[in-house]
């Protein structure tokens, strides 16, 4: 089977998401929907929500992690997530954490951390992206970041940063010694996500075939190797599971956006 990929960039992903929603319903056009879909309506940039699509499967997630400067943590006796939370509660509004650009997934991650734990931190945005935030945390200009482990990896391995917890269901295999937030008593799971969806109105029989094709593709050895080589987690959910996830994420993301004033 031959697939033609049409990358439609622009508008923070709005153009691509709109193209999927507006596609012909014959089943020959599907697309990848991403985390940003949960932000558009609240930001006022588009009326698109997950309800404009027929979910097929979730493919991938990349969890946020709470990572702080090693020197700062040591000077304040912080060795784990509970210690960090306690420090933030004792110093409301003082701790500065970097994400990426305004209203991006890692900026909103800070809001999710605040809404889930009741702490008050300053989220510093970086229009250049997460790399600059990580560099500033490693250099001591801010206290930490709420980006993915992959983006902070080099500075964690160098010892300039330490990760206190990952916002995932399971530990990251690249950093097996870093506990999840849940293991430390905080029910926090938050990640960017990518999944496949069709436009609304595709025939049920065709949808079933597409769902079966997605399930098979997830297990394809070449795909698994590609994802592993690129440090990308395969986080498969079937169509119903993905729909349930998207519905809950819409509520959770909105609350996190409120926490950072979006």
Residue 254 or 206, more confident: 206
User: Could you tell me what percentage of the chain is helix, strand and coil, using 3-state DSSP and rounding each to the nearest 5?
Assistant: 45, 20, 35
105-117 and 239-259 are packed helices; what angle lies between their axes, rounded to 10 degrees? 80
Q: How confident is the model at residue 259 (pLDDT cuts 50, 70, 90)?
A: confident
Q: What is the pLDDT of residue 137?
A: 97
Q: List pLDDT tens digits, range 187-238.
A: 988 989 999 999 999 999 999 999 999 999 999 999 999 988 777 789 999 9
Q: What percent of the chain has pLDDT over 90?
A: 75
Contact 59, 213 (CB under 8 A): no
For the record, the structure tokens of 216 come out as 């098979």
Q: List pLDDT tens digits, range 28-84.
A: 999 999 999 999 999 999 999 999 999 999 999 989 999 999 999 999 999 999 999
Q: What is the pLDDT of residue 1?
A: 64
pTM greater than the 0.85 cutoff: no
Q: What is the pLDDT of residue 255?
A: 86
Q: What is the pLDDT of residue 8?
A: 86
Q: What is the pLDDT of residue 233?
A: 83
Residue 2 pLDDT exceeds 80: no
CA distance 106 to 12: 14
* Residue located via tokens 């795909």: 223
Q: How confident is the model at residue 129 (pLDDT cuts 50, 70, 90)?
A: confident
149-158 and 130-138 are packed helices; what angle lies between their axes, rounded to 10 degrees? 20
Lowest mean pLDDT among 109-113, 146-150, 158-162, 232-236: 232-236
Q: What is the pLDDT of residue 185?
A: 95
Q: What is the pLDDT of residue 52?
A: 97
Q: Which of 49, 54, 59 has the alpha carbon at shortest distance from 208?
A: 54
Longest dimension (CA), the chain: 61
């Amino acid at each position: 089977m031959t697939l033609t990929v049409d990358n439609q960039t622009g508008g923070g992903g709005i153009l691509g998401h709109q193209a999927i929603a507006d596609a012909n319903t014959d089943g020959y056009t599907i697309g990848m929907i991403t985390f940003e879909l949960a932000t558009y309506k609240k930001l006022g940039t588009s009326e698109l929500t997950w309800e404009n699509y027929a979910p097929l499967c979730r493919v991938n997630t990349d969890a946020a992690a709470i990572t702080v400067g090693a020197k700062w943590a040591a000077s304040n006796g912080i060795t784990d997530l509970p210690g960090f939370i306690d420090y933030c509660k004792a110093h409301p509004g003082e701790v500065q954490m970097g994400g990426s650009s305004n209203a991006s997934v890692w900026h909103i991650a800070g809001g999710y951390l605040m809404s889930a734990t009741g702490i008050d931190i300053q989220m510093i945005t970086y229009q250049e992206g997460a790399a600059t935030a990580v560099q500033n945390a490693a250099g001591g200009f801010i206290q930490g970041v709420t980006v993915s482990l992959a983006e902070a990896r080099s500075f964690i391995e160098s010892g300039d940063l330490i990760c206190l917890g990952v916002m995932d269901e399971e530990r990251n295999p690249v950093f097996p010694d870093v506990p999840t937030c849940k293991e430390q008593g905080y029910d926090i799971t938050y990640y960017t996500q990518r999944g496949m969806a069709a436009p609304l109105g595709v025939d049920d029989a065709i949808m079933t075939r597409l769902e079966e094709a997605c399930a098979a593709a997830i297990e394809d050895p070449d795909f698994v190797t590609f994802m592993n080589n690129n440090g990308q987690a395969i986080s498969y959910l079937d169509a119903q599971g993905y729909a349930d996830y998207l519905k809950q994420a819409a509520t959770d993301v909105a609350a996190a956006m409120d926490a950072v004033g979006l």
